[in-house]
Chain A
Amino acid sequence: MVEKTAQDLDASEKTLKARYGAQAAGFIIVKICVLIVLTALGVLIGFIVMKGFGVVNFEFLTAMPKNGMIEGGIFPAILGTFLLSMGALLFALPTGILTAVWLTEYATSKKFVRIIRIGINSLAGVPSIVFGLFGLAFFVKFMQFGPSLLSGSLVLGILILPTVIGSSEEALLTVPRAFKEASLSLGATRWETMYKVILPNSVSGIITGVILSVGRAAGETAPILMTGATFYMARLPDSIFSKVMALPYHIYALMTEGSHKEQTAIAYGTALVLLMLVIAINSAAIYIRIRARRARKW
């Protein structure tokens, strides 16, 4: 017989105490880590806000730079970052979604898909300066687009492509297989099934991923350094072949060139604007995701 004795129960109670102890220790470590992350984030944002807040006002956001950049606003840089991001999106959105569609729905050889996925993932790991270098060699020189809005956008587009493909694939795969089978069983082609059932049901997921990657593109400096960003322009860009100013590069330039002490303040102001922009973009993405989750019925 294996009846439990009082001692056995005591023993199990002791181990129970030890297990609770281990749990408590675990929770403490977890809490400490969360605290570290939050502090780092708080300090970073607080620092930028404190240093940059003084210069940010309506004029700063809407005026051209004046007097060798130490006065006026940063409107061309805001506009430039906006245009570069939109350009990147224009390229990466259709290319990325269609690639994801192909990878999830059409590719018949699993091996081939795996190879392509490895390629895409490696692309995601390439340092952004390498993208810049590639852009310089390919778009600027070889395609003769020159350092321009077009070249910069294309480089940023390629940079975010892996994220766009990845999040689109993820969104496409969340659509239940049952919808797809129902559609096919009614005599729909694979393409009809894709654009009438699968895409409409994954669009919010795709958009969320894409917006997040645009936030990333907006903050990149290295890729546009050699492909289209410029420190100063007297006029706003007027074609896709114009050079453009951009927020991250503006910060870099203000801190590394010239020696006016006003530059530092303007740089922090610019950083604040960039930070707010990225936060706004990410919040939009999160908002869309939450709304889509709520609306989703499956």
Chain B
Amino acid sequence: MDESIRISVKKFNAWYGEKHALKDVDIEIPRNRIVAMIGPSGCGKSTFLRSINRMNDLIEGFKAQGSMLLDDRDIYDKDIDVTKLRRNVGMVFQKPNPFPMTIAENISYGLRINRMFKGKKDMLLQVEKSLIEAGLWEEVKDDLDKSAFELSGGQQQRLCIARALVIRPQVILMDEPTASLDPISTAKIEELIQVLKKEYTIVIVTHNMQQAARVADRTAFFMLGEIVEYGDTAKMFTKPDKKITEDYITGRFG
């Protein structure tokens, strides 16, 4: 199995103004694996995720320090092109956030922005392909020109995944992608994530322990901005190294 490292993080620290949100985070995320981030609310999971595509740059007063390498290039290097970085590191948000456009336009947005298509036919082909990958094609193939807001929450989220997939990123970041969805939509998305790992490296934040256990190859447990434990999901959920990890996973503290 190819276990080469896609993202390598060493002594990474992040601040919102005075608030020290991430403390000396060390983690290695292998290629074509799913890594779950778990931990109590406010422990820095989203902050970590949004540091990988530098989405936190938008926040006034955000500061990062330490090293975070994506394929051996430091994401925070001053020579890095943030637009290109984000193009290679896709993101799916907690609340489905399709654009107020048609279903087709939502998907083709990334193609148009990144000039990734040769003619209309090619564009439609790529739109179709990513909708198939996201398991949404059968449901929307006759409604491509309808507003994305006419879809259900679960469909919208799969649309957002298709939108992220269509530009073929290397990494996909998912911040509680099923938090606002019902169990059936959640199951569909979990299945989808499993399939996607063949081609992508996936980092997923979740509050749902079973979800982490079901989908992730590895799991990182965050607390108060630090990674308490990181390792094989199976091991983490059966024989965690630390008492506190076990307590959290089994729901003994809240």
Q: Which residues of A contact B (CB under 8 A)?
A: 110, 176, 178-189, 192, 196-197, 201, 296-298
Besides the contacts A179-B99, A185-B91, what 9 more A-B pairs have beta carbons closer than 8 Å?
A: A179-B100, A182-B91, A185-B53, A185-B90, A186-B109, A186-B110, A187-B110, A197-B99, A201-B100
Query: Which residue, of B58, B89, B99, B160, has the highest number of chain A Cβ atoms within 10 A?
Result: B99
Q: A-facing mask of B52-85, CB < 8 A → 1, else 0?
A: 0101001010000000000000000000000110
Residues of B within 8 A of A186 (CB): 86-87, 90, 109-110, 113-114, 163-164, 167
- A202 to chain B minimum Cβ distance, whole angstroms, is 11
Q: Residues of B within 8 Å of A, CB-based: how many? A: 28
Q: Is the interface of A mostly helix, strand, loop or mixed?
A: helix
In contact, A187 and B86 (Cβ under 8 angstroms): yes
CA distance A274 to B163 in the complex (A): 52
Chain B residues with Cβ below 8 Å from A185 are 53, 55, 86, 89-91, 164
B149 engages A181 (CB within 8 Å): no
A188 to B93, CA, bound (A): 16
Residue ranges of B at the interface with A (Cβ–Cβ < 8 Å): 53, 55, 58, 60, 83-84, 86-91, 93, 95, 97-100, 109-110, 113-114, 147, 149, 160, 163-164, 167
Measured between alpha carbons, how far is A183 from B100 in the docked complex, in Å? 12
Q: Which 4 A-B pairs have the closest CB atoms?
A: A187-B87, A178-B97, A185-B91, A297-B149
Q: Tell whether A189 pairs with B91 under 8 Å between CB atoms, given A178-B97, A179-B97.
A: no
Contacts of A197 in B (CB 8 A): 99
CA distance A28 to B178 in the complex (A): 51
Q: How far is the CA of A201 from the CA of B99 in the complex (A)?
A: 10
A182 CB contacts on chain B under 8 angstroms: 91, 93, 97-99, 160, 163
Give every chain B residue within 8 A of A178 (Cβ-Cβ).
93, 95, 97
Residues in B whose Cβ lies below 8 Å from that of A189 = 83
B58–A188 contact, CB under 8 A?
Answer: no
B147 touching A188, Cβ below 8 Å: no
Question: In this complex, which of A186, A188, A189, A296 has the most chain B Cβ atoms within 10 angstroms of its Cβ?
Answer: A186
In this complex, what residue of A is CB-closest to B114? A187
Cα distance, A183 to B55, chains bound together (Å) = 11
Q: How far is the CA of A192 from the CA of B93 in the complex (A)?
A: 20
Closest residue to A298 on the B side, CB-wise?
B100
**Min CB gap A273→B, angstroms:** 40
Q: Which residues on the A side are within 8 Å of B89 (C-beta)? A: 185
| Sampled A-B contacts (21; CB under 8 Å) | A178-B93, A178-B97, A179-B97, A179-B100, A181-B91, A181-B93, A182-B91, A182-B160, A183-B113, A184-B86, A185-B90, A185-B164, A186-B86, A186-B110, A186-B167, A187-B84, A187-B86, A187-B87, A187-B110, A187-B113, A297-B100
